[in-house]
Amino acid sequence: MPMDNQTVLARGLGYVPGIARGVLRRGVAVPADAIALITQEQIGALAQAPAGIIVMDGAPFSHQAIALLGLGVPAVIVGRAEAAACHDGLEVVIDGHRGTVSTAAGNAPLAGRALMLPHAGQCIMTPDGVAAELRASVRSVAAAQKARALGATAIGLVRTEFFEPADGRCPDSDYYTREFTALCAAAAPLSVTFRLLDIATDKLPAWVPRGLAIPGALGLQGVRLFGQTVIADVVRAQLAVIGQLSRSYPVSILLPYLVRHEELRHWMLRVRAQVPEDIPIGAMVETPAGALDLEHWFDQADFIAVGCNDLMQCLFAADRDQADVRAYLDPYAPVLYRLFNDMAQRAGEHIAQIQLCGVLSQLHGVLPILLGLGYRRFSVDAAQIPYLAETVRGTTRKTAEALAQAVCAACDSADVLERLQITSANYQPFLAGNDLSGWRRIDHAIPRR
């Protein structure tokens, strides 16, 4: 944690945990031992992974920001005003868990947090005996190996769209055989869930014809593209390889971006006809339509994965990749947790078969709320697992349920932030400005009806 003789220059949203020290440099061409200060648009252009990253005006649920999780270096998202205090050439320390950027304290060693790593393949237990699964979302063989080393319960989501030949050619069965086998071997003995090809306009592999996916947050993506010849051929190759791997490894399949029950039934039948019958097949709920029909999906799917990033995008009518509307995708808005509570009620006894994916559960203070609503399975970035395990070990079921009830009953995100003891210096709710306390005073002066 930051030492007492450090001066905090900026506070923001802790995004990738860990502590790093280095000379602050603006832009993407920075040395490996430096701290990079970049915009969201520059994330993909980083020449190499620096010691740490400060993102100015980033959208935490965007595909660009999520790429930071795969880099595995400490990262903090700050506002433009906070970034103004971070001068080029200054030696700084960033804390990716607490969301701080501080001046470096001489040559003193960094004081990191001593965290107890979970045992790979095992659930994490709360003090009163509630079991939670911290699975890992991965996009490479190396990430699967890291997940096992950091104590993942399983590989909850393989982002297969990021597996593509280096020469840009279309992947085939031979390519997937090499890559998927290597991934399963790296993760063994953990179970592995492969999400079938899930491309969109903002994550198009080099081999995909330009213009195939319709631009926009709600265009053609996921299974909506499975009828296109080039996509259909790649999906068939993925299914053939996963079917072969099921003879040696515990694998399952996940269908991306489904909306309606009829669509779910159609693709479940198509996929089941191409793989061994004992492979579990799940469906991703990523829209309010799917969330409100959840109880009917279990008559087709073996399990459900909730794509929290896209679900929030649809719920709040804000493109997750657009920094200008990032405040609308508020992870502390009570209405979001009322939706998750509704899903939990609809799932009933099937809630144990629901996996929550995406950034949401990894943000400060959120995991206990979700535990209180009854969710027990989470797929997160591997770097977050030790920190989230610590949260689980320090949260009782009674405390979590009381917190979840209070959050669902709250009027607005400011109420939730106060309950979670998160100050506006670290997270500013929509329209709160820089002075949360003043905003609340004005708000309380307005008569409630």
Q: Report pLDDT for 255.
A: 98
Answer whether residue 305 is part of any domain.
Answer: yes
Answer whether residue 116 is part of any domain.
Answer: no
Answer whether residue 143 is part of any domain.
Answer: yes
Q: How confident is the model at residue 428 (pLDDT cuts 50, 70, 90)?
A: low
Do residues 296 and 220 share a domain? Answer: yes
Answer whether residue 92 is part of any domain.
Answer: yes
Last residue within a domain, chosen from 41, 71, 103: 103
Do residues 54 and 146 share a domain? Answer: no
8-11: strand order across its sheet: 8-11, 100-103, 91-95, 19-26, 35-39, 52-56, 75-78, 13-16
Answer whether residue 313 is part of any domain.
Answer: yes
Do residues 138 and 229 share a domain? Answer: yes
Do residues 398 and 422 share a domain? Answer: no
What does pTM read for this prediction?
Answer: 0.89
Do residues 431 and 387 share a domain? Answer: no
Do residues 64 and 42 share a domain? Answer: yes
Compute the distance between CA of residue 207 and CA of residue 106 in angstroms, rounded to an integer: 49
Answer whether residue 118 is part of any domain.
Answer: no
User: Which residues fall within 8 angstroms of residue 213, CB to CB, at 6 or more apart?
Assistant: 199, 200, 201, 204, 219, 220, 221, 225
∠ CA(404), CA(375), CA(314), 5° rounding?
Answer: 80
Do residues 271 and 327 share a domain? Answer: yes
Q: Could you tell me if 128 and 397 are in contact, meaning their C-beta atoms sit under 8 angstroms apart?
A: yes
Do residues 261 and 371 share a domain? Answer: yes
Compute the distance between CA of residue 19 and CA of residue 90 in angstroms, rounded to an integer: 16
Express each pLDDT in 242-261 by its tens digit: 999 999 999 999 999 999 99
Last residue within a domain, chosen from 51, 69, 103: 103
Do residues 337 and 426 share a domain? Answer: no
Residue 19: exposed, middle, or buried by beta-carbon count in 10 A (0-12, 13-18, 19+)?
A: buried
Answer whether residue 114 is part of any domain.
Answer: no
| Among 50-59, 121-130, 234-243, 401-410, the least confident range | 50-59
Do residues 223 and 195 share a domain? Answer: yes
* Number of domains observed in the structure of the chain: 3
Length of the chain equals 449
Answer whether residue 284 is part of any domain.
Answer: yes
Compute the distance between CA of residue 384 and CA of residue 152 in angstroms, rounded to an integer: 10
Do residues 354 and 420 share a domain? Answer: no
CATH value at residue 364: 3.20.20.60
Compute the distance between CA of residue 186 and CA of residue 141 in angstroms, rounded to an integer: 7
Last residue within a domain, chosen from 57, 74, 103: 103
Express each pLDDT in 300-335 by its tens digit: 999 999 999 999 999 999 888 888 888 888 999 999
Q: Which two tokens stand for residue 303?
A: 């399990």
Q: Which amino acid is at 295?
A: E
CATH value at residue 37: 3.50.30.10
Q: Could you tell me if 306 and 339 are in contact, meaning their C-beta atoms sit under 8 angstroms apart?
A: no
The residue-averaged pLDDT of 115-120 equals: 89
The whole domain housing 439 covers 413-445
User: Which residues fall within 8 angstroms of residue 329, CB to CB, at 6 or more apart?
Assistant: 59, 60, 61, 312, 313, 316, 318, 320
pLDDT exceeds cutoff 80 at 141:
yes
Do residues 316 and 334 share a domain? Answer: yes
Q: Which uninterrupted H or E stretch holds 182? A: helix 173-187
